[in-house]
Amino acid sequence: MGSTSAQSNNGGLGRRDLIKRSAAVGLVSVPAMGFLSACASGGGESNDKVEKGVKSDKNPLGVNESAPLDFVLFDGGFGQQYAKDAIKVYETNYPKAKVKFTPTQKITTELQPRFNGGNPPDLIDNSGAEQMDMGVLVGQKQLADLTPLLDAPSIDDPSKKVRDTLRPGIVEMGQFDGEPCWILNYAYTVYGVWYSQKLLDSLDAEYPETWDQMLAVCEKAKKKNIAGWTYAGKHPYYLPFSLYPMIGKVGGREVLDAIDNLEPKAWEHPAVKACFEAYYELFKKGYILQGTPGLDHIQSQTAWTEGKALFIPNGSWVENEAAKTMPADFGLAVSAPSGLDASDKLPFGTIWAAGGEPFVVPAKAKNVEGAMEQLRIMLSEASSKNFTASVKSLSALNGGTDGIELSPGLKSGVAALEKAGQNVVNPRLQDWYVALQKEKIGVACIGEMMAGRATPAETIKKIQKYADEAAQDSSIKHYKHQ
């Protein structure tokens, strides 16, 4: 998946997170190491913090009303307008303050020298192919703790703290090793199994809740010369978008936590074995679109929108990314992954959904309070609705969709989240261990299994070996669920 496609449309959004975790790992790792050494050297301490303002009901964070604010935004698929609109609100509330707004795609190239010099911007949307390595920034204490923002009263209901207005997993995703919170992911992506409601209806079928039902639906499709599944064969780390939450559903959250924690034998859990064997059946029974292992994300999505395959594992960015080839009456829908059977630990509806588009406030920012206030404004219902309406993505605000005409995929994603309730899982492997998840588990293992070149047993053994090596590698910063 090339960074260009991910940055040229609104789909990039969820995917831009992926770029950092995936295709552009090569791009990220070099600047990140430069960062590590540069930050470790301490940089300059010359920056002067602005004097704090007086806290009040209208100004709970104590923003200095005349201090300038320096805001750098990743200029990708979400565009700039949602941020510009939120800046207007800030400047209306603080008319003496001047906001310097810089959109760029070269986050590391442009910001590393500023971090090294102790003069970073106040607020950064740290995304895209040149995203700075979060683990390094956190490990080197380069980020400000966002707890004051999370504990501040929300704009729409001052009786509620900002943290109480956020979607499941947003605060946790900003944490590395538990408290505090260093990152505020502004977008919210729903991962799962995507399909055309129209095509499913034409087969006189319903979305399958168990694996036996899944195989039956795929068999029905096969008889009409439609493949059951396709996926990004060249980027098989898309498969976990439905495979990981299935593992969590079958075995419980603790199985995913053990995998994230790189625990010995985590991959040998019976739930992992059962789910890998279930997916392998798709290959064995001929339910995967011919040639899928050679397709990239765009090619597989195009085959799917053309009705050649029924299901595709993906994230909610697919609505925009595949828009050019998606028929108007496609009836885009998403569902949580099918489970195995009634013995599953979690109910049908268990889904992976998580934050993306990470905003950070550098520890050495001059105007920390202003940066947090700008984020508080962005987390208001008005800003959130503006974002959702314009870029077809949910925001971190839990709600903020009333009165907006939702696109089919977005509507389906909202319904899937409502069905999930508290059963939202959020595997962290792809944040914490980029190379392990993308190259080794995704390409070298799951991709090989789904192409029929390795059995589930061989695949699990190989993944566990890679996970053990990562756990023992002292050059890698390790994180754990608390």
Which residues are within 8 A (CB) of 476 and not within 5 positions of it... i.e. 6 or more apart?
433, 470
Cα separations in angstroms, 317 against 19, 241, 301, 367, 454: 13, 13, 12, 33, 30
CA torsion, points 394, 399, 403, 409, in degrees to nearest 10? 40
DSSP labels, 239-278: THHHHHHHHHHHH-HHHHHHHHTT-TTGGGSHHHHHHHHH
Task: Name the strand (E) or helix (H) holding 283.
Answer: helix 270-284
> For each of the chain's 482 residues, which pLDDT tens digit applies?
333 233 333 333 343 344 333 333 333 333 344 444 444 444 444 458 999 999 999 999 999 999 999 999 998 778 899 999 999 999 999 999 999 999 999 999 999 999 999 999 999 999 877 888 887 788 889 999 999 999 999 999 999 999 999 998 899 899 987 779 999 999 999 999 999 999 999 999 999 999 999 999 999 999 999 999 999 999 999 999 999 999 999 999 999 999 999 999 999 999 999 999 999 999 999 999 999 999 999 999 999 999 999 999 999 888 888 889 999 999 999 999 999 999 999 999 999 999 889 999 999 999 999 999 999 999 999 999 999 988 888 999 998 888 888 999 999 999 999 999 999 999 999 878 878 988 899 999 999 999 999 999 999 999 999 999 999 999 888 888 87
CA torsion, points 291, 294, 298, 303, in degrees to nearest 10? 0
C-alpha angle 197-203-206 in degrees, rounded to nearest 5: 55
CB atoms within 10 A of CB 62: 16
Asked if the peptide bond before residue 408 counts as cis, ω within 30 degrees of 0, the response is: no
Q: Which amino acid is at 458?
A: E
- pLDDT tens figures, 226-244: 999 999 999 999 999 999 9
- How far, in Å, CA of 258 to CA of 243, rounded? 16
Task: Set out the domains of the chain in order of their start, with CATH numbers.
Answer: 3-189+355-405 (3.40.190.10), 191-352+429-472 (3.40.190.10)
Q: HSE on the CB side for 347, CA within 13 Å?
A: 7
Q: Which amino acid is at 331?
A: G
